[in-house]
Amino acid sequence: MPSVAVVTGANSGIGRAAAIHLAAQGYEVYGTVRDRTRATKLAAMSAERDVEVRLVELDVADDGSVRRGFDEILGHTEGGVDVLVNNAGVAGNGTLEDTEPGQYLEAMNVNLCGAVRCCQAVLPRMRERGSGTIVNVSSVVGRVAALAQSPYVASKWALEGLSEGLAQELAPFGIRVAIVEPGVTRSAIFAKSVDVPDRTGAYGDHYRRMFQMYAAGIAHATDPFEVAEVIHHAVTTDSPELRYQVSWGSEQLIGGRERMTDAQWLSLGAAPDDEGYYARFQELFGLDIRPAG
C-alpha cells in the first residue's frame, strides 16, 4: 500500500510541483485546493506526467473547511496520512506603519494557523502509528526580515518558531518535522503580490527597493520542482535535518544574516539612496540586485 501524502495549496507553484513530484515517487497524493474548477493546470500537468493527484476542496483559513477536507481524506485511507506538506500561504507587503492590524491577522490565519489546523488533523493517527513527516514550507523571509513585507515576515517567523517547537514535541513519537525555506521560486504568488498600502507616503524607497530585490530574483527564479525534490528528500533521507534552504537567494540571504552583526543589518536600512542600498546589499549578502542596465 503506498504512503499517503497531503499537500496544501496544490493548485500552483511549489504546492503543485510537490503534489506531482510525490505522486511520481509512488505516493497516494491528496492535493488541497480552494476550488476544484480552477485546478485545470494541475490536472493537465498531472496527466502529462501520467500521475494522479486527488483533489480535495479545503481552505486552510477556515476551521470547518479543514475539518471537512480531512474527514474526506481520512475516509479514503486506512492508516491515516504519512506525509503532510503545509504549503498553502499568502504574501503580505507593507511597512508596519502603513499596514492595518487586520492584514497581519489575515497572513497569520493562513500561514501560521492554517498549518496548525492541518497538523492537528493528522497528528492523532501519526502518534498512534509512531511515524510520519510534517513539512512546513516557510520562506527565506522566515529567517531574514525582508524589507517592506512586515505581515509576511511576521507570519513566516511565527511558522519557523512553531515548527522548531513542534519538532521537539513530536520527537518522542517518531514523527519528523522539516522546515523548507525557499528563496525566489517561479510562482503565481509574485504576480498576486504587487500592491502596497503606502498610507503614509513615507516609505516609497522601501517599497521600490523591495520590488527591485524580487525583480532581480525573478530573473533567476528557481523551478518549483527543485523545491519539490528538496521536500521529497526531507521526507525520505536517512540523515534528516530540521531546515532546508533552496531556490535563488535562500542560502546567501540566510547565511549573510547569520554572519552579520545587528549594527550591519541596521546600516543596510540606513542607506541614503538606492545605489548605496544595492551596494550594501551586495556587500552583506553577495547578491547584486541592481536594476538591469
Active site residues: 152
Please state the domain extents for the chain: 4-195+222-256
- Residue 233 pLDDT grade (very low, low, confident, very high; cuts 50, 70, 90): very high
Condensed to tens digits (0 to 9), the pLDDT of residues 21-57 reads 999 999 999 999 999 999 999 999 999 999 999 999 9
Question: What pLDDT sits at residue 78?
Answer: 87
Question: What pLDDT sits at residue 247?
Answer: 97
- Residue 192 pLDDT grade (very low, low, confident, very high; cuts 50, 70, 90): low
Condensed to tens digits (0 to 9), the pLDDT of residues 150-174 reads 999 999 999 999 999 999 999 999 9
Given a cut of 90, whether residue 188 has pLDDT beyond it is no
- Residue 1 pLDDT grade (very low, low, confident, very high; cuts 50, 70, 90): confident
**Which pTM does this prediction carry?**
0.96
Q: Would you say 95 and 150 are in contact if contact means Cβ atoms under 8 Å apart?
A: yes
Name the CATH superfamily, with its identifier, for domain 4-195+222-256: NAD(P)-binding Rossmann-like Domain (3.40.50.720)
The C-alpha angle with vertex 258 and arms to 245 and 138, in degrees rounded to 5, equals 35
Question: What pLDDT sits at residue 187?
Answer: 78
Mean per-residue pLDDT, 255-262: 98
Mean per-residue pLDDT, 181-193: 79
Q: 265 or 186: whose pLDDT is higher? A: 265
User: How far apart are alpha carbons 140 and 154 in whole angstroms?
Assistant: 12
DSSP 13-77: HHHHHHHHHHHHTT-EEEEEES-GGG-HHHHHHHHHTT--EEEEE--TT-HHHHHHHHHHHHHT-
